[in-house]
Structure 1
């Protein structure tokens, strides 16, 4: 038989514990009860030594005063009375002051931690909302803060006075705020960013950031996880469905404008069907693969892309309406914009935008058209009225110049594997006039690769793939790849690493080992590195390679399209096979006599061949250490040599 022992003490302690954990209010009530109990006991003990007329209530009040205020200690007469007074005063220090300070301090700490965790709802209007914390989020915020001109027009469009930026993150910590502060383009403005904890797929958490009252919502994709049943694209589409459902539940007809990143091109249409409001979808794998493909076909273009797509303090693409210039031909517009290059126009048809780039000079700007310009900042989007009255000479058309077609099979060595590789190979399949041989060297099993490259079964007449299972950061393995026999080498950031730093470390170590092989090669292939962390670019700058930083490119795209919706159509036009493309031209193709020429003279030569010159790629660095001169001053004389090349926008028919 089990003996039941008395558990009164444990029961009392347990009861007190349950009261204490209920919060500051119950803790204060408990302290008040304890003070009252001590006052009563003190009053009872001191009654025999008091005056005969002293009542019980007066004795309790005497004890309470000494419990709460030690200043009364010197007024007592008699040893017993002084002894009781001393005990009560000491108890007052410990219980009254100590407990009160402890309760209030604990409550304040708990409240501050609650606020730091970002669990309280916000009330805002026309704010910019970023849903999710990824390697793009900080760069998106930086791009938004630095886009002064675009922000100004953005605020004017929504009649807002101040930019409000809110980020919804799965977990909010001081580390994230410190990351924002450490970014050179954010700095002290990090305090203007509101962080909130929550999941983008949870409707309750979307209410927490007042999502339906936002002017623009940006949904960057999280890290790609092949083994996860719920991949980032599914979460993005679920977020779009949640926004739709939330708007329907509140009977809101006007939904906020959303820019969403989708990795898998096959899910882009599903994303558009999931949201009934204004939406632009950026296919990240498609964009990066197109940039890689263009750079393989035209080595050196990565520097052009990095300036246009990832450096806010250099040249960027802008689109803006100039109603006062309606009716003017493109040829004249090229002359009146002295600090920008006119690339073409964008026409708006309902909710869709249609870019028309590299237009002939006689094309007239019509009402509603947006001009597309390459400029350093929005302050350079100014035109000179005095040049509008100058009659421009019609440049005779000398015929479209051919683009070099590679008759031999182009050999490409790809070291590493990530989600961009299948997209790159699919993109190369769209170039119908070219043949490719690709050797894939990675640790991923061949069966998994072939599953992702199943589309090659129908299109493998021009693209053939050879698989190697090897670790390219081993010197013995990289020598077996015969890297020196290829035309182009691509090192991609591995998707087997969870951290960007680890993935980039493998890529850079592989590149250093590759250099040992290539330094003895009779003909050096072009080398392109894909990195995840922009701070690592400086580590390989001294080598002969090109770099594409995927998160920086995608962050610039997402931020730019959020502020100017029509930019999405422009980027798609520039990086898709056919239509307008950026390429290099040798100077002798234009019949240029080498020497000092002004940039406006090169513009006229390009126009004569139906092209738009964007800048010059110098064979030697200029006084600032740059090889690429995009959008130089129109009147600046540039000393050209036979090895310099022009960066032009041409059109493939």
Structure 2
């Protein structure tokens, strides 16, 4: 039989340890017991010395006073009493003061760390909630803070007095708060943002941010670091299911409005089925691919999209009801808004919205219909009564202008690979009257590419894809590709980089090498860069290229649609094949030559051709260094040159 040795000392130490780790309350209790024990022992030892410690109670009190206050040390008489008093006083420094301060300090530090980690639940109503920290999150917060007019109407809708913005992040640290403070559009307002730690797919963490009482929930998708089997779309759909389940568990029938980003368009319907409340789903890959496709078909449009979709302080799309203008023709409305361009209307059909853009001048505005306008801010959404006159006579209809058809095969060179490339090729396949040859160059294995491009079997006669495995940041590899023979070159950020800075670094280095190859080319193709970090755009601004910053575009979409739900239908209309699209028109197409023209004159001329003019793309930059002049004042006089182009909204039938 095994003999158990006595381990009394270890047992006592283990018991004390288990009590100490339970928290500050137990630590204080043990400390109080230790103080009491020292006081009792000291009282017993000092009792034989006589008055004033002749009784047990007075002796214990005497010891406790010396233990808690060293000022009593000089009041004692007799060697024995002074000896005991000195021992108790020294013990008081160590136990009473040192241990007490240590316990309280440790408790406060632990509590502060707990609060900094964002683990405590919040109590809020009608707040805006962002679930997840990605390369979109900070920009979404900035867009929301800067959208003053939209925020005002948003708060009025939910009868809220102040904007409350809460972000749920997998990790919360001082680094994230500093990132918010460093953003120029947030700055000192970063302290108004509440950060909480948690996962969007965890119901308990959703309760931590009071998700069911939010007025709007934004679910951005992760752009990098995807796992093999758990993609960002799966996490987004799981988040929607968790919100639904949480509402059912609490018998909450009034679910919050959700704006969710889905990368794979094949999972959009699954996302809609996962949530029974008001929901708008943004197909990010589809949106970016449509922007790229239209820019390839109409080089230069990236500047228009960047201003409309990426710049808070420039022109944006707004929708608003103007009941006092009901019954007015569209032609008069275009004249009445002197600081905005009227694009069309949006009709509400229950949970769905139906936009109608680029309407004819004789179209009469119906009751309870939203007017869609392009303006710099909400304060420009005003109309002048003197411009609504009964003697208004529109220009006679001059006939629709033909849209240039791309008859020859379009050659496109794509350098790099990410999730937007298959979506782009799928988008190009929708242009049934056009033919494309696309050379894909990157490090992704050909087998993996072909798996994602399996849909090409249905369009092999119109869209031909050639896969090349090469590293485009080597000049020798770029020269082998014969880049100068292509019509368009697209460079995308690699999805093999975990950090967006590293992905952009490869793209920009490859672009600089590409510029060396194209410098001596007789024909220069248009070059479009996709970047992930907006701060990198300034590094290549001096080169002749166009830039689309995907996170900025998607952040603007998420924030804008969160504040104005109907914007999602407008963007889909603008970026979808057919219907209303933004294109360029040359001066001769409108029967104009170089000279000075007022913008309202150009607006009337465009309306006579069944189009809506948005601005002018100048061949040479203006005094402020900009090529794009979008939504100028109606009375603004523009000096046109032969190579200038009009930015117009037309309709494809």
Quote how far apart the aligned CAs of 1:9 are: 2.5
- Residue 52 to residue 533, structure 1, CA distance change in 2 (3 Å): closer
Q: Is the partner of 1:176 in helix, strand or coil? A: helix
The answer to whether residue 486 in structure 2 is matched with residue 486 in structure 1 is yes
Q: 1: distance between equivalents of 2:626 and 2:223?
A: 34
CA distance in 1: counterparts of 2:377 and 2:248, whole angstroms: 40
Q: Distance in 1 between matches of 2:387 and 2:643?
A: 34
CA apart distance, 1:360: 0.4
Residues in 2 aligned to 1:463 and 1:387: alpha-carbon distance in whole angstroms? 50
1:372-414 CA distance string (max 9 Å, x none): 0000000000001122135222211111111111221100000
Distance 2:509 2:2 in 1: 70
Q: Is the 8 A contact 1:224 1:231 kept in 2?
A: no
- Aligned partner of 1:133 in structure 2 is 133
Q: Offset of 1:12 from its aligned partner?
A: 2.1
The corresponding residue for 1:590 is: 590
- Residue 42 of structure 2 corresponds to 42
Conserved? CA contact 2:484–2:525, under 8 Å: yes
Q: How does 1:370-381 map to 2 (within 5 A)?
A: 370-381=370-381
Secondary structure at the residue paired with 1:620? Answer: coil
Q: How many Å separate the matches in 2 of 1:51 and 1:80?
A: 13
SS in 1 for 2:580: strand
The whole-number CA distance in structure 2 between the counterparts of 1:503 and 1:126 is 38
For 2:115, the equivalent position in structure 1 comes to: 115
Q: 1:524 aligns to what?
A: 524
- What corresponds to 2:258 in structure 1? 258
- The residue aligned with 1:218 is 218
Is 1:292 aligned to 2:287, yes or no?
no
- Note if 1:183 corresponds to 2:194: no
RMSD over equivalenced CA pairs, Å: 1.2
Matched, 1:9 2:9: yes
Distance 2:413 2:638 in 1: 37
> Paired residue for 1:405?
405
SS of residue in 1 equivalent to 2:556: helix
For the residue of structure 2 that corresponds to 1:623, the secondary structure is: coil
Residues 205 and 363 of structure 1: CA distance in aligned 2, closer, same or farther (over 3 Å): same
The alpha-carbon distance between structure 1 residues 586 and 424, as it changes in their structure 2 partners (threshold 3 A), is same
Match of 1:574 in 2: 574
8 Å CA contact 2:259, 2:558 repeated in 1: yes
Alignment-derived partner of residue 647 in structure 1? 647
Alignment pair present for 1:200 and 2:200 = yes
Alpha-carbon distance in structure 1 between the residues aligned to 2:226 and 2:466: 23
Q: Secondary structure of 1:455's partner?
A: helix
Deviations 1:114-138 (A, max 9, x none): 1111111111111111111111011
Inter-partner Cα distance in structure 2 for 1:53 and 1:214: 67
3-state SS of 2:454 partner: coil
Please say if 1:354 is aligned against 2:354.
yes
Q: How far does residue 2 in structure 1 lie from its aligned partner after superposition?
A: 7.3
The answer for the alignment partner of 1:601 in structure 2 is 601
- What secondary structure sits across from 2:408 in the alignment? coil
Residue 147 of structure 1 corresponds to which residue in structure 2?
147
**3-state DSSP of counterpart to 1:363:** coil
Secondary structure of the structure 2 residue equivalent to 1:414: strand
User: Equivalent residues in 2 for 1:236-385 (5 A)?
Assistant: 236-385=236-385
**Could you tell me how far apart the structure 2 residues matched to 1:407 and 1:322 are?**
44
Tell me, what secondary structure is at the counterpart of 2:130?
strand
Tell me how far 1:581 sits from its aligned partner.
Answer: 0.5
What is the Cα deviation at residue 61 of structure 1?
Answer: 1.0
> Which runs of 5 or more structure 2 residues have no equivalent in the other structure?
none
Conserved in 2, the CA contact under 8 Å of 1:615 and 1:632?
Answer: yes
Structure 2: distance between partners of 1:225 and 1:187: 28
Q: Is the 8 A contact 2:596 2:639 kept in 1?
A: yes
Is the deviation greater in 45-54 or in 411-420?
Answer: 45-54
Question: For residues 12 and 594 of structure 2, what CA distance do their matches in structure 1 show?
Answer: 97
Matched-pair contact (CA < 8 Å) for 2:224–2:498: no
1:225/1:231 contact within 8 Å kept = no
Residues 52 and 58 in structure 2, CA contact (< 8 A), matched pair in contact too:
no
CA shift for structure 1 position 51: 2.8
| Corresponding residue of 1:630 | 630
Deviations 1:319-355 (A, max 9, x none): 0000000000000000110000000001111111111
Residue 21 (structure 1) aligns with: 21
1:616 paired to 2:616 = yes
State which drifts further: 14-23 or 53-62: 53-62
Deviations 1:480-531 (A, max 9, x none): 1110110000000000000000000000000011011000110100000000
Could you say what secondary structure the match of 1:281 adopts?
A: strand
2-side partners of 1:643 and 1:484: how far apart? Answer: 23
CA distance, structure 2, for counterparts of residue 474 and residue 523 of structure 1: 22
| Cα shift readout 1:173-207 (whole Å, capped 9, x = no counterpart) | 11111111111111111111111111111111111
For residues 405 and 336 of structure 1, the distance between their equivalents in structure 2, rounded to whole angstroms, comes to 35
Contact 2:53–2:62 (CA under 8 A) maintained in structure 1: no
Match of 2:395 in 1: 395
Q: Which deviates more, 562-571 or 49-58? A: 49-58
Worse overlay, 52-61 or 473-482: 52-61
Does structure 1 conserve the Cα–Cα contact (< 8 Å) formed by 2:46 and 2:53? no
CA distance in structure 1 between the partners assigned to 2:381 and 2:42 by the alignment: 83
Q: 2:443 corresponds to which residue? A: 443
| Structure-2 separation of matches of 1:406 and 1:12 | 88
Please report how far the alpha carbon of residue 10 of structure 1 lies from its aligned counterpart in structure 2 after TM superposition.
2.4
Deviation at residue 37 of structure 1 after TM alignment: 1.2
Deviation of 1:225 after TM superposition, in Å, equals 5.0
Q: CA deviation at 1:369?
A: 0.9
Q: 5 Å matches for 1:501-580?
A: 501-580=501-580
What is the TM-score when the length of structure 2 is the normalising length? 0.98
Contact 1:439 1:466 in 2 (8 A): yes
CA gap of 1:132–1:53, structure 2 versus 1, over 3 A, is closer
Shift of 1:147: 0.3
Structure 1 residue matching 2:650: 3-state secondary structure:
strand
1:406-430 per-residue CA deviation (whole Å, 9 max, x = no partner) reads 2211000000000000000000001
